[in-house]
Amino acid sequence: MTGVVPGARLTAHSRPPGRSSRLASGFLGPNGAGKTTTIRILATLLRPDGGTARVFGRDVVREAGAVRRKVSLTGQFASADEDLTAAENLVLLGRLWGHSWRDARRRAGELLEAFGLAEAASRPVLMLSGGMRRRLDIAASVIVTPDLLFLDEPTTGLDPASRRQVWDIVRAVVACGTTVLLTTQYLEEADRLADRIAVIDHGTVIAEGTSGQLKASAGTGSLRVQLADPAQQAHAQGLLSRELGVPARQESGTEALSATIPARNGEPDMGGHVARALAELSRSGITVTGFALSQPSLDEVFLALTGHPAHAGTVTMETVR
């Protein structure tokens, strides 16, 4: 199985054949909600005070060794030896995993190429940029492809270009069949990478669903229609209200009308009813000079559901694309 990082191939090693994909899920919540503690428990780094937790059916306390054989963890800080080169770090880890020298060098070369580090292979880690170090850290985590990879804030402090490179790597790792549990401070990252998200606050799940469903729960979307003739506002308002099934509002001082778009079947109805409403305006001879559809951002969802601003929290997501 392979996943693509721009211009290269990332190949899974030691992957059991025939494994099926899993439904993506995740956690979003403020600092102190319990996300990092959960990850440390699942990674067998922290013993739970009570209750049980299982990873792929294995109890994290009674079967910790079996869990560790299935998972890998990349922490917030670079773990590579700064005095060694990028290639030497990967070869060393390959040897520790039991590869022969030949296989360790081959695997290191594959990962350096796939992660865009081939030209930096002979440089000491101390001389690599922050983005390169993060890519090297992730590469080190997949020397032998794990069933579950924990990534703890892998893009914090990176510039936008480096952040997007890491996103590509995350998608490539997932394409190889690995489940990724990712924590991040960037809500845009959750929107782009997570299939399902659960919002937790003070240890309690208060909402869960897809990104679209969570956005719908925070107020759905909105439609704004700009009219050519102010005299048609009242007529247009009535038509929109009837077609959308919600009140349309006149915006003070403008020729525009606005309305919230109701959620249907858990998702904002950004098409169907809106298209019919606009078509009805046209059939009624009402000239529309422009319209705009919008959804609430995950930042607004975060604030609406938890009462905390987005910058006060982090996001945890499991992504399987």
136, exposed or middle or buried, with CB in 10 Å at 0-12, 13-18, 19+? buried
CA distance 217 to 153: 26
Helix (H) or strand (E) segment spanning residue 293: strand 288-294
Question: Pick from 98, 128, 96: which is nearest to 112 by CA?
Answer: 128
- DSSP secondary structure letter of residue 248: -
pLDDT in tens, 206-246: 777 887 777 766 656 678 899 999 889 999 999 998 888 87
> Residue 298's pLDDT is what?
66
> Residue 281's pLDDT is what?
92
Question: Pick from 319, 315, 317: which is nearest to 33 by CA?
Answer: 315
Angle at 123 between CA 120 and CA 124, to 5 degrees: 135
Q: Residue 27 in contact with residue 189, Cβ under 8 Å?
A: no
> Residue 88's pLDDT is what?
96
Length of the chain in terms of residues written: 321
> Residue 266's pLDDT is what?
47
CA distance 228 to 249: 16
Residue 285 has pLDDT above 90, yes or no: yes
- What residue segments make up the domains of the chain, in order of their start? 2-213+311-319, 220-295
Arithmetic mean of pLDDT, 168-190: 81
Q: Which of 86-100, 130-144, 304-318 has the lowest mean pLDDT?
A: 304-318
Tokens of 19: 């494994």
> Residue 270's pLDDT is what?
53
Residue 29 has pLDDT above 70, yes or no: no
CA distance 181 to 241: 43
Arithmetic mean of pLDDT, 95-109: 94
Label residue 192 by pLDDT band (50, 70, 90).
confident
> Residue 9's pLDDT is what?
44
CA distance 171 to 90: 21
User: What is the CATH topology of the domain spanning 2-213+311-319?
Assistant: Rossmann fold (3.40.50)
> Could you tell me the pTM of the whole model?
0.66
Tokens of 257: 């009308």
Which CATH number is associated with domain 220-295?
A: 3.30.70.270
How many other CB atoms are there within 10 angstroms of residue 122's CB atom? 10
- DSSP secondary structure letter of residue 28: E
